Amino acid sequence: DAGITQSPRHKVTETGTPVTLRCHQTENHRYMYWYRQDPGHGLRLIHYSYGVKDTDKGEVSDGYSVSRSKTEDFLLTLESATSSQTSVYFCAISGSSRDTQYFGPGTRLTVL
């Protein structure tokens, strides 16, 4: 398995609080991605990064921000969590933009 970890694996928080999810890789891959998975919607891209400090928006980026200060870490921040952001969040990595993507184990986030 590709060396990808996500933390925390589970989190329950309240509406209006900030939340940061972390993705850590040991593969030295250039590309990193954040997705959310919801019933009936499949996986949707939130943000992605194509290098240190280089990020771009995905399909559902509103209410989320990201940062990548090191190759191995990609952080996803919910600035003010809402109940609509209750979801399972997956991080993925790839060596290039068209390579196979490898996924982390996911973080289940519940916003009350």
Q: Is 44 one of the binding residues for another protein (CB under 8 A)?
A: yes
Q: Is residue 25 within 8 Å of 6, Cβ to Cβ? A: no
Nearer to another protein by C-beta: 16 or 38? 38
Tokens of 69: 């200060």
Q: Is 97 one of the binding residues for another protein (CB under 8 A)?
A: yes
**H helices then E strands: how many in the chain?**
0, 11
Applying CB under 8 A, among 30, 75, 95, 102 the residue interacting with another protein is 102
Applying CB under 8 A, among 25, 29, 72, 104 the residue interacting with another protein is 104
Of residues 55-94, those binding another protein (CB under 8 A): 58-59, 90, 92
Applying CB under 8 A, among 12, 41, 82, 84 the residue interacting with another protein is 41
Nearer to another protein by C-beta: 1 or 53? 1
Neighbour count for residue 66 (Cβ, 10 Å) = 22
Distance CA 39, CA 88 (A): 10
Tokens of 106: 């996911």
